[in-house]
Amino acid sequence: AKDDGLDFRELLKHRDKQKKKIEEEEREQINLKPPQIRMDQPEETGGGDDNGSGSRRSSIMDDRRPSLRRVDQENLLKVRRDSKTRRPSLAEVVPDWPTLHKVKRPEKEKEAFVEPLQDIKCKEEDGEITFNCTFCKPSTRIRWLKNKVEIFHGLKYHFDSSGAKQKLTIYKLHPDDSGKYFCRVNDIETSAWLEVKPAIPLYDFYKELPARMEVFRTKPTILEYHVNDPNAPVKWYKNGVLIDTEKDKRMKYHQDMTRCIFRIFKTTKADEGEYTCQIDDERGIKTTGSVYVEEPQWRFETKLPATLEGDENDKIELECSVQDEDAECDWFFEG
């Protein structure tokens, strides 16, 4: 019985060696680290009964059990892919097997203005203008801005939306309406410039010259009228001839806002005539007044004494006073 037990162990060892050899060849192919065999339990050689044989067999199986090790999954999968024994897929076996394709989703349409705003130049007399633009699709999120400041629907601005078409109408045009206007839809905007030229002002007189004016000689003459605009350009004429205030220093023109004054210092008889003030524009509106120069009526306030006595070689002063400092006085001796 002892010899039979030894022959059986030799058979197990031989089979174990063959198995280890096969495993080493496989490990060399897949470059894996060889397992470490547990050798901490001694081999039992004694005993010939059945219980002893069973314990020795379990000991040998424990010695052949490998310890836990880390497997290189990447190289292992590579070997399996390259292996000729790989199991074919259904796509390779079944003809006309449907293949998976990447889903092509329709790209989102890029939003933009089909018809942008256009620059506008106009005159103040036009009264109103309209900006037009067209978005790629109808939208309710529409905002209008002037110089980056939002404007709102009202008496001055009127918004109109018809599908994708947008309109902005500006009423009562004024030069202050000039600027850059924006139409913004969903954070997408278009812009254009508006230039409003000021209207040609219509100058006129709202207080004309007096039709007749009488002045005294040597006294200043003042001709006064009022216009509706401080910037009204005017020209002065005397008897149809343009007056040049640079040549005649006695004449001076002065304007205080809408009040206009034409002044003649120390009026003479030659200043008598018809004076005309004309607005220098296309319409040429004018106002006319006549100036008549009269001789002043001077009077004495204090007269000379009737008699005056004095000694020979004494100094005598004769004194009198008149109402007007500009009065012209002449002295006579014995007539």
**Which of these, 26, 100, 102, lies nearest to 66 by C-alpha position?**
26
Instruction: For the chain, give every domain's residue range.
Output: 2-66, 113-197, 205-294
Give the pLDDT band of residue 120 (cuts 50, 70, 90): very high
| Residue 264 φ then ψ, to 5° | -120, 120
pLDDT of 69 strictly over 60: no
CATH code for residues 205-294: 2.60.40.10
Q: What is the pTM of this model?
A: 0.46
pLDDT of 248 strictly over 70: yes
The per-residue pLDDT of the chain, averaged, comes to 81
Q: Is 139 helix (H, G, I), strand (E, B) or coil?
A: coil
**Which of these, 200, 197, 198, 224, lies nearest to 213 by C-alpha position?**
224
**Which of 74-78, 92-96, 329-333 has the highest average model confidence (pLDDT)?**
329-333
Give tens-digit pLDDT for 147-203.
999 999 999 999 999 989 999 999 999 999 999 999 999 889 999 999 999 988 889
Q: Is 234 helix (H, G, I), strand (E, B) or coil?
A: strand
pLDDT of 282 strictly over 90: no
What pLDDT, on a 0 to 100 scale, did the predictor assign at position 191? 95
Alpha-carbon span 164 to 111, nearest angstrom: 12
- Tokens read off for 284: 């040429």
Residue owning tokens 């009423």: 171
Ordered alpha helix ranges (H), 173-249 = none
pLDDT of 122 strictly over 80: yes
Give the pLDDT band of residue 320 (cuts 50, 70, 90): confident
What pLDDT, on a 0 to 100 scale, did the predictor assign at position 182? 96
**From residue 124, how far is each of 147, 156, 172, 280 by CA, in Å?**
20, 14, 8, 22
Tell me if 113-197 shares its fold with 205-294.
Answer: yes
Fold of 113-197: Immunoglobulin-like (2.60.40)
